[in-house]
Amino acid sequence: MPASIGPSHRSVHPSRLSSASVWMHSGEFQVLWPVSTQRHQLVADSSSGINAVVLPLDVAFETRLDAARRFWRALNGRPPAPAYGALPQQAKIRHILNLRAHDGRRTGATYRQLAEVLMSRDPIAPRDWRDHHLRHKVRAILRRTDRLVAGGYRDLLFYPHSRGRKPDR
């Protein structure tokens, strides 16, 4: 990007980044900058400084945009924000319940035993089990678990993107 971007622009010189590794590859400067637990990899067209961040408008745009935001926060000494695409706490709890139900079923537990152990503090009487709301909930959890075990768990690797979505052209 040209140096005349505007009065508010600021050049970042790779040499000023503490503990950065800088090398030349295919005519471009590659910069690897480890900041606390994060690593930022930058590509610059010259060693004089980085004036802008260019992001391709592809299916990973939101992920790249978040990486640029986290890089900017690190440059300014600000703490990192939560990463884009981090699985929400409620989804983590639901998946833990799914795994526990799957493990329980594999060890031979009945639906009623799963409901008592995983979701109820009190034992469920056999006469109440037929119409108990947890009976339907356990069945739904086990159906979801079957989908995850059959390969749906791979979608977690692509969260929040879906593997089945076709990119818009």
Is the domain of 63 the same as that of 100?
Answer: no
C-beta atoms surrounding 61 within 10 Å: 11
Is the domain of 94 the same as that of 151?
Answer: yes
pLDDT digits (tens, 9 = 90+) for 65-124: 888 888 778 777 788 777 777 888 899 999 999 999 999 999 999 999 999 999 988 889
Terminal CA-to-CA distance of the chain, rounded, Å? 27
Q: How many residues does the chain have?
A: 169
- With respect to residue 70, please indicate whether it lies within any of the assigned structural domains: yes
How big is the chain by its Cα radius of gyration, in Å? 25
pLDDT digits (tens, 9 = 90+) for 1-13: 444 545 555 666 6
Domain coverage including residue 71: 14-75
User: What are the phi and psi torsion angles at 108 (to 5°)?
Assistant: 95, 10
Is the domain of 94 the same as that of 43?
Answer: no
- With respect to residue 166, please indicate whether it lies within any of the assigned structural domains: no
Spatial separation of the C-alpha atoms in residues 12 and 47, rounded to whole Å? 10
Is the domain of 65 the same as that of 110?
Answer: no
Is the domain of 69 the same as that of 128?
Answer: no
In this prediction the pTM is 0.54
Is the domain of 55 the same as that of 115?
Answer: no
Q: How many domains does the chain have?
A: 2
Is the domain of 103 the same as that of 150?
Answer: yes
**CA-based diameter of the chain, in Å?**
79
Is the domain of 32 the same as that of 57?
Answer: yes
- With respect to residue 66, please indicate whether it lies within any of the assigned structural domains: yes
Is the domain of 66 the same as that of 18?
Answer: yes
